[in-house]
Amino acid sequence: MPDQDTTKHRHRRRLSSAARQWVLIGAVAVVVAAVVVTVSVWLPNRPNGPDGRRIVERATAAQAFPGGLARQPASENQPGMRERVARQDGEDTTADRIAEIADQPIATWLTNTSVTKTRATIRQVVANAASQDKTPVFVLYNVPDRDCGSYSKGGTTASEYLPWVRSAVRAMAGSHAVVLVEPDAIAQIQVCKRLLDSRLPLLRKAVSELSGHGLTVYLDGGNENRVPTAKMAGWLREAGIDQTQGFFTNVSNFYRVDQERTYADGLADAIGGDPHFVIDVSRNGQGWRGTWCNPDGAGLGQDPHVAAGSSRLDALLWVKTPGLSDGTCNGGPAAGQWWESYALALVENRKGS
């Protein structure tokens, strides 16, 4: 049987061991608390969407469009090409009118299925924008079954699309470019039901490819008169708007800014997470003219510019190139072709929108 001194010594050792354990536990707790505090300080406080998904932090208008809007290089500016020819031919009045279009920042549409040619176009536009210290705006318009087989039909195959997007992203990476993803691609589902199952998952994958490369991305928000707001909000969530800056409206259309802003604010509320938006004002100076396809009486809208940043409106853009046909309707040439008489009429009918 151990003596009393031995028992006391063992007891003291047990107390010392327990004390050391509590000190260690306390130290670990302090470290964990410090990590939690550090993470809380350094990670952005990003809101959750209505379905619980994490939403990317939206940039301000100035952050989304650093330096303002870049003008296109001469090789991409179709109105500018025609202006130069008119001057060479001594048609100064025509040239002056077309210059009202050519001198504005216009988005560059990427429609060529060739990866090599698409990358070459992007690099040229990016370099030109960098020389101006301004932001280039690109439009991806190459989704499979584009325009549901209508006037602007075409696009890549399903297997080619994401590699094409990845290639475009590599050429844009780090440029701070703004990218408008596939006008009509979401809104057109309303009247082209065969797109419903495949289109939204494909766009979500495209958004994933575009994310994380210093680009500002907007998805198709249609316009005030195409898709019910609740339905469009659901489709945009499915397409990955939680990982973008927001959506665009009125592309290649004619609705006035005040109407589109009301619609866009309602759509943003329905989506949740405070998405921002941009509006195409290239041809809305006379408002809606009864049809989306080469309407009579249309006029140029406001000059494109970045918004002041006091609302969710980031910019008013010229997305559609004024003077390019919507398609073989109302006497127009094929979609995307220069139609000079229409361009001159847009200038003649110009009015603040």
Q: Which residues are catalytic?
A: 147, 184, 326
Report the residue count for the chain: 353
Give the ranges where 180-294 is alpha helix by DSSP (H). 196-210, 229-238, 257-271
The residue to which tokens 């802003």 are assigned? 261
Tokens of 307: 């918004």
∠ CA 326-328-331, rounded to 5°: 100
The neighbouring-strand residues paired with 317 are 280
- Tell me the C-alpha distance between 67 and 111, whole Å: 26
User: Can you read off the two tokens belonging to residue 176?
Assistant: 């701070």
DSSP state of 175: S
Q: For residue 193, count other CB atoms closer than 10 A to its CB.
A: 9
The candidate with the shortest Cα–Cα distance to 285, out of 293, 295, 276, is: 295
Which SS3 state, helix, strand or coil, does residue 344 take? helix
Say which residues have a Cβ less than 8 Å from residue 144's Cβ, sequence separation at least 6: 155, 156, 157, 158, 161, 198, 202
171 CB-near residues (< 8 Å, 6+ apart): 118, 119, 122, 123, 126
Single out the residue of 300, 284, 285, 206 nearest to residue 251, CA to CA.
284
- Please give the order of strands across the beta sheet that includes 108-110: 108-110, 137-140, 178-181, 216-220, 246-249, 276-280, 313-317, 305-306
